[in-house]
Amino acid sequence: MGRIQLKSVTKSFGDIQVIPPLDLTIEDGEFTVFVGPSGCGKSTLLRLIAGLEDITTGTIEIDGNDATNLVPAKRGLAMVFQSYALYPHMSVRKNIAFPLKMAKMDPAEIDKRIEAAASVLNLTAYLDRRPGQLSGGQRQRVAIGRAIVREPAAFLFDEPLSNLDAALRVGMRLEISELHKRLATTMIYVTHDQVEAMTMADKIVVLQAGVIEQVGSPLELYQRPRNTFVAGFIGSPKMNLISGAEAQKHDAATIGIRPEHIDISESSGAWKGKIGVSEHLGSDTFFHVQCDVTDEPLTVRATGEVSFKYGSEVYLTPRPEHLHRFNEQGLRIE
Amino acid sequence: MATKASRSAARLMMAPAVILLLGWMLVPLIMTLWFSFRTYLPLRGGDQGWTGFDNYVRFVSSSAFWPAVQTTLVIVLGVLVITVCLGILLAILLDQPMWGQGVVRILVIAPFFVMPTVSALVWKNMFMDPVNGLLAHLWRFFGADPISWLSDASLQSIIMIVSWQWLPFATLILLTAIQSLDSEQLEAAEMDGAPVLKRFAYIVLPHLSRAITIVILIQTIFLLAIFAEIFVTTGGAFGTRTLSYLIFQRVLESQNVGLGSAGGVYAIILANIVAIFLMRIVGKNLDN
Amino acid sequence: MARAVTPRRKLINTGLAWAIGLLIFFPILWTILTSFKTEAQAIASPPLFLGFDWTLENYGVVMERSNYARFLMNSIIIAGGSTVLGLIVAVPAAWSMAFVPSRRTKDILLWMLSTKMLPAVGVLYPIYLLFIQLGLLDSRAGLVIVMMLINLPIIVWMLYTYFREIPVEILEAARMDGATLKEEVLYILTPMAVPGIASTMLLNFILAWNEAFWTLNLTAVDAAPLTAFIASYSSPEGLFFAKLSAASTMAIAPILILGWFSQKQLVRGLTFGAVK
């Protein structure tokens, strides 16, 4: 079981409040991702849940029990660190066994659990190696192995993939998602990468400057961003945001349209513009188009391989059903 | 950044070291202060009551005081200058590619292992003895009159002995620092047309500044306290009486604890002046 | 700075470095050589370098004259005991400073170092009196305590610099894994810091071994270590070069051998952990 509830939690370092009062509930078995730009307080929030930092005011409950003043060891949570934080002087086996030894578990049971975790994570052949002899991906798996043997109430991941190269990252992303499906344990995952957030999460928590901007499923965030920040942060490439006269036509301070929701044509359309840089990915083509309606170039996606000459004139038409409208405060207008 | 629990644990874990050192500092310090205001002659009547600042006045007005302060400073500064300068040269040499670098390094650091009493005795007798010493032989070989090192050039001799003991330390620290210098920096400077001496002055030396600070700090701590070298070689004669040694003589040889304690207070003040000065520099360097 | 140089340049470097190295090492070499000469050969003019009759007679005389084994034992106990004791006190303190730093950490560290600047003579008599009161004069226990105290700031400082190289995340991982503070320090921090701790121990062992103010002034017979053993060879016996050399060699040999066998840690330790 792992239902985690934060009630009006705040955190200050000295006089600086990094997290203003914050409420959040993470349901049992949910895969929750904290996402936001660096310095948004997502890692701090995770460390507050872990107990590695004290909260300044408020309470944290784990499964309905007050855990606010519990030391990390007593919270029943396991954490995977960005640097993996493996014990360099211990073999893989001893690394994985460490939390069980600390819990004074029966040695036979420890061995059984290590074998089980190692076979799940493909580590059986490496059990007697030191962390220094392993590749980045293998170290990552050891760190996960050390977390799962404890059968914790919840897993905490602090940017676990940021030290891996791009190809490995995609693979590990899948592995962690699979692990979650199989264990069905609560997982809290911190990342600055919105692609990781979108692909893995049941629930995304978007943070900025310690404040929760929006909480919801990946599709909710994609389809109905609550404000311009979330609109700009979720989705790749970023949503085009246009303010000024064009927005006022739609009774909004700012309008937003995703690159994949704009049609491009050589003959006619709503906005006239000039083709800038084109990015050809094969499956899609992205155009950066300088339009009259805004100073920033707009990003447009065309499916498949499409070609326009640099500098040629085109017309863009946003699909009205996908137009997002925001008021002066940046909040969504329904 | 940590939790309240770990902060209070930290205080608890720091306590033994802090309390021990505080006791080690305060108890004798207070006793020394107490004695310094009393006439205290252990072998001639013991504690004979208050004398106010008499001991302080007598200690400073003694003809031995200022020379002792001067001797102390000359020895400390002399050894610092010699070890730092030679240490830099030696470190640069040892950093060059050569055969048997490891063995040379062992040879160079060996004097650090030699206890001060041994090195003082060996230098005094086997090298500096005006009749049978090796240096006397060397002088005679070149047709010169042997020097009575420890009486005619006593201060220089002591500086030399102590420098020999501390050169390994300075060399090693500076060598480690030079080895950590990014060679690309030097190559970039070479590309920019900086000649060898300029490269040394603008790149190597600034890079070494932190290491030099450490050498000066740690050596000063030990040099202010040198004792055995003087005790064994000259016994404080021939102008080699440092402030420390003067106090030692007042306390142990003339058995005047009150006077010696007043001297101790002066020595503590001197050490503190040096300490504050040094700590300022080191404190700045401690962060990076 | 290492890069390809001409063989000639390398040859010059080698020659120069070896010459200087041997010059610096020479007093030690000379002492060791002289210890194997007879007294007459030791003061022969011109001096004999290798062409003499090797003899062990001086060592026999020195052993006979004084109880070398007891001095050696005292040195080992005082240097070893104070180092171990110092480590027990310093490891927790250095842990606090390195991993739970506060605004005052730096000040405390500097204050600790500054206690080393207190001139020993300034407090000699009070310590002497305290030792008499506590019955510690000329006792190994008393010397162990004093050596521990005078080296404690250095031990704390060195451990602090080594500990700071250990990523705090690893300790936090241990905390998450359910380790208590004691287990964290014992099973994670200490094993990870072994090279640093070894260097620290080695350097402090040497410093304590060579310390010659307190050992000369607070011991007489029972607890006198090798520094006192050798001090007894100051004049007039100092004029007997061969015996002096034998005694000197016996006093420094244990440390020289220890130093050579643990060169790597020692080089690290000699920098007081202050330079990487």
Question: Does A79 contact C176 at a Cβ distance shorter than 8 Å?
Answer: yes
Q: Which residue of chain A is at minimal alpha-carbon distance from B5?
A: A71
Lowest mean pLDDT across A267-276, B155-164, C100-109, C264-273? C264-273
In chain A, ranges of CATH 3.40.50.300 domains: 4-230
Which residues from C are below 8 Å from A77, CB to CB? Answer: 176
Query: A138 CA to chain B: closest CA distance, Å?
Result: 30
Among B229, B255, B256, B259, smallest CA distance to B241 is for B229
CA C30/CA A174 separation, integer angstroms: 71
Cβ neighbours for B100, distance < 8 A, ≥ 6 positions apart: C14, C18
- Contact assessment for residue C164 and residue C99, using Cβ atoms and an 8 Å cutoff: no
What are A216's strand-pairing partners? A204
Residues B18/C108, Cβ–Cβ less than 8 Å:
yes
Q: Are B42 and B256 spatial neighbours (Cβ–Cβ below 8 Å)? A: no
Whether C209 has a pLDDT exceeding 50, the answer reads yes
Nearest to A72 among C176, C188, C191 (CB): C176
pLDDT band with cut points at 50, 70 and 90 for residue A220: very high
> Amino acid letter at B106?
I
Which part of chain C has CATH 1.10.3720.10? 66-232
Residue B133 binned pLDDT confidence (cut-offs 50, 70, 90): confident
Of residues C45, C206, C227, nearest to B117 (C-beta): C227
Residues in chain C closer than 8 A to B186 (CB atoms): 1
Distance CA C160, CA C99 (A): 9
**From the CA of A55, how many Å to the nearest CA of chain C?**
17
Q: Is C236 on the interface with B (CB under 8 A)?
A: no
Q: Over the stretch C219-237, which tens digit does the pLDDT of each residue have?
A: 877 888 888 888 777 766 5
Q: How far apart are CA B169 and CA B111, in angstroms?
A: 9
pLDDT score at B139: 81
Nearest by Cα to B126 from C37, C62, C72: C37
Higher pLDDT, B148 or B74: B74
Higher pLDDT, B43 or A239: A239
Span A130-189, pLDDT tens digits: 998 998 889 989 999 999 998 899 999 999 888 888 888 888 899 899 999 998 999 999
Q: Which residue has the tokens 């490995």?
A: A168
In the prediction, which pLDDT does B288 show?
47
Q: What contacts 24+ positions apart, CB below 8 Å, involve B215-218?
A: B215/B83, B215/B84, B215/B87, B215/B169, B215/B170, B215/B173, B215/B174, B216/B80, B216/B84, B216/B278, B217/B278, B217/B281, B217/B282, B217/C113, B218/B169, B218/C272, B218/C274
Asked if A73 lies within 8 A of C192 by C-beta distance, the reply is no
Selected residue with higher pLDDT from C32 and C62: C32
The minimum CA-CA distance between B3 and chain A, rounded to whole Å, is: 5
* Cβ-based neighbour number of residue B104 at 10 Å: 24
* Pairing mode, strands A211-216 and A203-208: antiparallel
Rg for chain A, CA atoms, rounded: 23
Q: What is the mean pLDDT of residues C27-34?
A: 89
Strand, coil or helix: A333 = strand
Best interface-test mutation with A: which of C170, C171, C177 has the largest number of A CBs within 10 A? C177
> pLDDT-based confidence at B186, cuts 50/70/90?
confident
Inter-chain residue contact C238 with B121, CB threshold 8 Å: yes
Q: What is the mean pLDDT of residues A318-332?
A: 92
Which residue of chain A comes nearest to C169, CA vs CA? A85
The 3-state secondary structure of B208-241, one letter per residue: HHHHHHHHHHHHHHHHCCCCHHHHHHCCCCCCCC
- B1 and chain A: CB distance < 8 Å anywhere? yes
pLDDT above 70 coverage of chain B, percent = 97
**Chain B residues touching A12 at Cβ < 8 A:** none
Which pTM was predicted? 0.84
Partner A contacted by B10 (CB < 8 A): no
C-alpha A165: how far from chain center: 17
Q: CA distances (Å), B152 to each of A234, B157, B237, B240, C9, in order?
A: 85, 9, 11, 11, 42
Interface A–C counts its CB contacts (< 8 A) at 60
Residues 194-213 of C with CB under 8 A from B: 206, 209-210, 212-213
What gap in Å lies between CA A306 and CA A284, rounded to an integer?
A: 8
Residue span(s) of chain A under CATH 2.40.50.140 come to 239-333
* Two tokens, residue A223: 């389809």
A265 residue type, one letter: S
Q: Which chain A residues are within 8 Å of C173, Cβ to Cβ?
A: 79, 81, 85-87, 146
What part of C 29-88 touches B (C-beta under 8 Å)? 30-31, 34, 43, 45-47
For position B1, what pLDDT does the model report?
46
C-alpha to C-alpha distance for C141 and C128, rounded to whole angstroms:
14
Would you put residue A62 in left (φ > 0), alpha (ψ -120 to 50) or beta? beta
Distances from the Cα of C43 to the Cα of B240, C47, C248, angstroms? 28, 7, 17
B283 neighbourhood in chain C, CB within 8 Å: 106, 110
Closest chain B C-alpha to A48 CA, distance in angstroms: 10
- pLDDT band at residue B282 under the 50/70/90 scheme: low
> Å from C168 to nearest chain A CA?
9
Residue B5 touches chain A, beta carbons under 8 Å: yes
**Mean pLDDT in residue range A263-276:** 89
B1–A53: do the CB atoms touch at under 8 Å? yes
pLDDT tops 70 at residue B276: yes
How far is C-alpha B207 from the geometric centre of its chain's CA atoms?
24
Does the distance separating the beta carbons of B1 and A71 come in below 8 Å? no
Q: Is B274 on the interface with C (CB under 8 A)?
A: yes
Give the type of residue at C267.
V
Report the residue of chain C nearest B227, measured CA to CA: C213
Question: Minimal Cα distance from C102: which residue of A?
Answer: A14
Cα–Cα distance for residue pair C191/A90, rounded to 1 Å = 9
Residues spanned by the domain of B107: 65-286
Query: Does residue C275 carry a pLDDT above 70?
Result: no
Which residues in chain C touch residue A139, judged by CB atoms under 8 angstroms apart? none
* pLDDT value at A216 more than 90: yes
Q: When comparing pLDDT for C4 and A40, which is higher? A: A40
Instruction: In whole angstroms, give the CA distance from residue A12 to residue A195.
Output: 30
Order across the sheet with A4-13: list the strands.
Answer: A16-26, A4-13, A57-62, A65-66
Exposed / middle / buried, residue C256 (Cβ in 10 Å: 0-12, 13-18, 19+): middle
Query: For chain B, how are helix, strand and coil distributed in percent, rounded to 5?
Result: 75, 5, 20
B270 Cβ contact list (under 8 Å, min separation 6) = B69, B72, B243, C119
- Residue window 162-181, chain C: list those with CB within 8 Å of chain A: 167, 169-170, 172-180
> Which CATH code, of 3.40.640.10, 2.40.50.140, 3.40.50.300, 3.40.50.2020, is assigned to A4-230?
3.40.50.300
Place of tokens 């003082």: B120
Preceding peptide of C195 cis, ω within 30°: no
Question: Is B248 within the bounds of a domain?
Answer: yes
Q: Do B2 and A53 touch (CB under 8 A)?
A: yes
Is B3 within 8 Å of A13 when comparing Cβ atoms?
Answer: no
Residue of B nearest to C146 (CA): B24
> Can you state the percent helix, strand and coil of chain C, rounding each to 5?
75, 0, 25
Touching B: which chains, 3+ CB pairs < 8 A? A, C
Residue of B nearest to C28 (CA): B111
* A130 token code pair: 């030191």
Which of A177, A190, A186, A160 minimizes the C-alpha distance to A47? A190
Strand partners, A5: A25, A61
Q: CA–CA distance from B138 to each of A193, B43, B110, B129 (Å)?
A: 76, 48, 24, 12
Q: Terminal CA-to-CA distance of chain B, rounded, Å?
A: 19
Q: Measured between alpha carbons, how far is A198 from A203 in angstroms, rounded to an integer?
A: 9
Q: With an 8 Å Cβ cutoff, is C180 touching chain B?
A: no
β pairing state of A77-80 and A154-158: parallel
Q: Does A34 score more than 80 pLDDT? A: yes
Whether B230 maps to a domain, the answer reads yes
Cβ–Cβ under 8 Å, residues C128 and B261: no
Q: How many CB pairs under 8 A join B and C?
A: 321
Q: Are strands A16-26 and A4-13 parallel, antiparallel or unpaired?
A: antiparallel
Is B28 within a domain? no
Give the CATH number of the domain where residue B258 resides: 1.10.3720.10
Please determine, looking at this structure, whether the domain spanning C66-232 carries the CATH number 2.10.210.10: no
Alpha-carbon distance of B110 to C40, in angstroms, equals 28
Percent of residues in chain A assigned helix, strand, coil, to nearest 5: 30, 35, 35
Q: Strands of A313-318's sheet, edge to edge?
A: A262-265, A313-318, A271-280, A284-291, A298-303
Instruction: Give yes or no for a contact between B193 and B155, defined as CB atoms under 8 angstroms apart.
Output: no
pLDDT of residue B163: 94
Contact C186/A at CB under 8 A: no
How far is the C-alpha of C161 from the C-alpha of C165, rounded, in Å? 7
Within a domain: B19: no
Superfamily of domain A239-333: Nucleic acid-binding proteins (2.40.50.140)
- Asked if A5 and A60 count as a contact pair (C-beta separation under 8 A), the reply is yes
Q: Which residues of A touch C169 (CB under 8 A)?
A: 81-83, 85
- pLDDT score, position C276: 52
* Cβ neighbours of A51 in B, within 8 Å: 3
The tokens describing A202, both together, are 């049941």
Which chain B residues are closer than 8 Å to A53 by Cβ?
A: 1-3
Average pLDDT for chain B: 83
Query: Mind spelling out the 3-state secondary structure of C57-110?
Result: HHHHHHHHHCCHHHHHHHHHHHHHHHHHHHHHHHHHHHHHHHHCCCCCHHHHHH
What percentage of chain A reaches a pLDDT higher than 90?
A: 60
CA atoms within a 13 Å half-sphere pointing along the CA-CB vector of A203: 17
Q: Given CB atoms, is C261 within the 8 Å cutoff of chain B? A: no
User: Subunits that touch chain A (at least 3 Cβ pairs < 8 angstroms)?
Assistant: B, C
> Does residue C120 belong to the interface with chain B, where contact is any CB pair within 8 Å?
yes
Query: What is the CA angle B237-B238-B241, rounded to 5?
Result: 55
Q: Are B59 and B266 in contact (CB under 8 A)?
A: yes
Interchain CB distance below 8 Å, A85 and C179:
no
Residues of chain A positioned with their CB less than 8 A from the CB of B3: 51-54, 71
Q: Which whole number is the average pLDDT over C121-139?
A: 85
Residue B97 preceded by cis peptide, ω within 30: no
Token reading at B201: 């002055």
Contacts of B152 (CB under 8 A, 6+ apart): none
Convert the pLDDT of each residue in A45-74 to its tens digit.
999 999 998 899 999 999 888 988 888 888
- Position B286 confidence tier, pLDDT thresholds 50, 70, 90: low
C191 touches A at CB < 8 Å: yes
- Omega prior to C236 cis, within 30 of 0: yes
Number of domains in chain B: 1
Surface of B (103-142) touching A: CB under 8 A? none
**What is the distance between the alpha carbons of residues C234 and A48, in angstroms, rounded to a whole number?**
66
pLDDT score of A225 more than 90: yes
Over 90: is that where the pLDDT of C137 sits?
no
Asked if residue B190 belongs to a domain, the reply is yes
The DSSP annotation for A278-308 comes to EEE-SSEEEEEEEESS-SSPEEEEEES----
